[in-house]
């Protein structure tokens, strides 16, 4: 068997691919649900924190800034391991899915808060004052005047951050979450062949190439006209 034949046998073995394709499909379903949960939770929490920060309460802002700095500094993998392995010593156990979801959501929330806050601050102060002069409350001014402009400005960087965080779902394999990477590596070990890892790589491409294309469209669609 030549070098090329050994390569094909090791990474593109059709018989092994057919055998382990259902396992990879199961991992894809878990990855999709986890990614959606992280996006919804992380973005909403980040938005709420940015809105709270806009009220400029010194004590509240101190804790929000501290949370954002810590979560952005901690590697997501470290946070997942802490939640999964350390919390049981405090009497609280999280399953692999929950630990990965909470960890990635907190990291995304920290980045989303900073992105939303930058968008809110970028809205000219005169628009705040003009809205308030018409009788709108601060909350109404935020909701109807400031936030729509801030969201438009923040969509491109927020989309890029969401893509980066959701690819981190692969980190769940460290705590035995049955997502794509875990299923692919387990299948490769069982088969004694790397073809399931190739299937895993293809699965990530199938899932995330459309997301990357959508992110590029968002950047173009919501870019400010020069």
For the chain, the domain total comes to 1
Tell which wins on pLDDT, 3 or 84: 84
**Least confident stretch, 8-12, 161-165, 169-173, 216-220:** 216-220
Average pLDDT over residues 28-39: 94
Percent of the chain with pLDDT over 90: 51
pLDDT tens-place string over residues 77-130: 999 999 999 988 888 889 999 999 999 999 999 999 999 999 888 888 778 778
- With residue 80 as reference, give the H or E element that holds it: helix 76-81
CA 60/CA 16 separation, integer angstroms: 56
Task: Please report whether residue 4 resides in a domain.
Answer: no
Q: Is residue 47 predicted with pLDDT exceeding 90? A: yes
pTM: 0.88
Q: What is the CATH number of the domain that holds 54?
A: 1.10.3720.10
- pLDDT score recorded for residue 226: 42
Residue 219 reports pLDDT greater than 80: no
Whether residue 13 is contained in a domain is answered as no
Residue 183 lies inside a defined structural domain of this protein = yes
Q: Report pLDDT for 224.
A: 53
| Gap between the Cα atoms of 80 and 95, Å rounded | 11
Per-residue model confidence (pLDDT) at position 222: 66
Alpha-carbon span 104 to 71, nearest angstrom: 10
Mean model confidence pLDDT for the chain = 88
- Note whether residue 10 is domain-resident: no
Tokens at 170, concatenated: 């692969």
> Cα–Cα distance between 120 and 31 in angstroms, integer?
32
| Inside any domain, residue 109 | yes
202 within some domain: yes
Length of the chain: 226
What range defines the domain where residue 163 resides?
Answer: 20-221
Query: Residue 79: inside a domain, yes or no?
Result: yes
Q: Are 3 and 156 in contact (CB under 8 A)?
A: no
Query: Which residues contact residue 218 at a Cβ distance below 8 angstroms, ignoring those fewer than 6 apart?
Result: 155, 156, 159
């Amino acid at each position: 068997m030549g070098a090329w034949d050994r390569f094909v046998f090791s990474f593109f073995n059709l018989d092994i691919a057919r055998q382990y394709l259902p396992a990879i499909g199961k991992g894809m379903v878990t990855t999709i649900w986890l990614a959606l949960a992280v996006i919804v939770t992380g973005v909403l929490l980040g938005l709420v924190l940015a809105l709270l920060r806009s009220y400029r309460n010194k004590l509240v802002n101190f804790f929000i800034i501290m949370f954002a700095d810590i979560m952005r500094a901690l590697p997501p993998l470290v946070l997942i391991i802490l939640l999964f392995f350390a919390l049981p010593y405090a009497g609280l156990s999280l399953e692999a899915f929950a630990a990965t979801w909470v960890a990635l959501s907190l990291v995304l929330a920290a980045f989303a808060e900073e992105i939303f806050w930058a968008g809110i601050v970028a809205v000219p102060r005169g628009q705040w004052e003009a809205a308030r002069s018409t009788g709108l409350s601060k909350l109404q001014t935020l909701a109807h005047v400031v936030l729509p402009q801030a969201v438009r400005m923040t969509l491109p960087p927020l989309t890029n951050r969401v893509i980066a965080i959701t690819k981190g779902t692969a980190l769940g394999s460290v705590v035995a979450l049955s997502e794509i990477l875990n299923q692919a590596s387990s299948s490769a070990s069982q088969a004694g062949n790397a073809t399931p890892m190739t299937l895993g790589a293809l699965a990530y491409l199938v899932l995330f190439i459309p997301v990357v294309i959508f992110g590029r469209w968002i950047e173009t669609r919501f870019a400010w006209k020069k």
